[in-house]
Structure 1
Amino acid sequence: MSSNPRRLDRIDVSILNELQQNARITNNELARAVNLSSTPCFNRVRTLENLGLFRQRVTLLNPEVLGLRINVFIQVSLEKQVEDALKRFEEAISLHSEVMECYLMSGDADYLLRVVMPDMRTLERFIIERLTTIPGVSNIRSSFALKQVRYKTALPLPPSGLTLTDPDE
């Protein structure tokens, strides 16, 4: 893509914004929302999809209704930040569905995790039985979210359009 960058116009951005708000919107509803007829709208969505802009389409569930009331941020430090240790940790952590996000970080900790749990006992078991047993883990620090002030999944897109970039550059 870097040799021939693709420019998204304001209609493309409108389509992306609509789909970020409701991935289940019908093509006819989407076409009306972005002021296009059905076929050109469908073709644009297909083009945007072929450009790799859609990672996946999901349904966001309410964690509190499901009993997942504890939202914890856990900083994990490794004994050594070498490729084998990083790979081993990332493979181990990817096996746990309660880990919602995991980032390799700069700064004090090597990783930042966000986990959801139903209660403190489950969190304690997760830390003791799962995290501390991963080879190379040297330090674990937890911070509890007291209140979720903002949560969103939609990426900010400039309304006038944008030029796509190659993620590998």
Structure 2
Amino acid sequence: MDRTDIRILQTLQQQGRVSNQRLAEIADISPAACWRRMKALEDSGVIEGYTAILNRARVNLNLCAFIHITLARHVRESTAEFEAAVMQRSEVMECFVTTGEADFILRVVTTNIESFDAFVEGFLFTLPQISQIKSNIALREIKLTTALPIAQDSPPALRPEPAR
């Protein structure tokens, strides 16, 4: 990946519906070259897909919670079953395996506290793999972004390899 690819990626993260013509102008390359580069970024998996970002409040998803999950047993089958169950729930926006006190952290959105309670009682409490659940309700959203911090002046190809 070079600086032109990074310009393309930065622009797409901010303006996902930008035309190829405009993107080529921003990247300072021809439209044909721009299309080829975008296709290569898609084919290589750097660009995983395109989506619309919705306003959570405007679609009546007013509650955001962070749920810390501790599993009863740390065996592959138990973990895999929990992960499979979480993948099926549309309320779960993100799920991370973590170090520290919790084994998993979920970001969950629901319409209100009653629907959150129904999610916890009707779903999480029914999973036998879970030994402990701790929830934090977000009061306000200060920053939410989907754009990764790709540095214009430090393309990934020029960054030092991480120590092993």
Structure with greater helix percent: 2
In structure 1, distance between residues paired with 2:158 and 2:38? 15
Specify every segment of 5 or more residues in structure 1 that has no aligned partner in the other structure, as ranges: 1-7
Could you tell me how far 1:99 is from its partner in structure 2?
0.4
Where do 1:30-109 residues align within 5 Å? 30-109=23-102
Let me know the Cα RMSD of the aligned residues: 1.6
In structure 1, distance between residues paired with 2:43 and 2:150? 19
Specify every segment of 5 or more residues in structure 2 that has no aligned partner in the other structure, as ranges: none
SS in 2 for 1:53: coil
If the length of structure 1 is used for normalisation, what is the TM-score? Answer: 0.89
Q: Could you give the per-residue CA deviations for residues 91-134 of structure 1, whole angstroms, max 9, x where no partner exists?
A: 11111100000111111111100000111111111101100101
SS in 1 for 2:126: coil
Asked if structure 2 preserves the Cα contact closer than 8 Å seen for 1:81 and 1:110, the reply is no
In structure 2, distance between residues paired with 1:96 and 1:50? 29
Percent of aligned pairs sharing the same letter: 35
Query: 4, 12, 16: which is aligned to 2:9?
Result: 16
Q: Could you give the per-residue CA deviations for residues 115-160 of structure 1, whole angstroms, max 9, x where no partner exists?
A: 0011111111110110010122111110011111111111111213
Could you tell me how far 1:164 is from its partner in structure 2?
8.8
Query: 114, 122, 137: which is aligned to 1:121?
Result: 114
The one-letter code of the counterpart of 1:140 is: I
4+ residue runs over 2 A deviation: none
SS in 1 for 2:96: strand
The one-letter code of the counterpart of 2:156 is: L
2:148 match: 155
If the length of structure 2 is used for normalisation, what is the TM-score? Answer: 0.92
Q: Count matched residues.
A: 159
1:134 match: 127
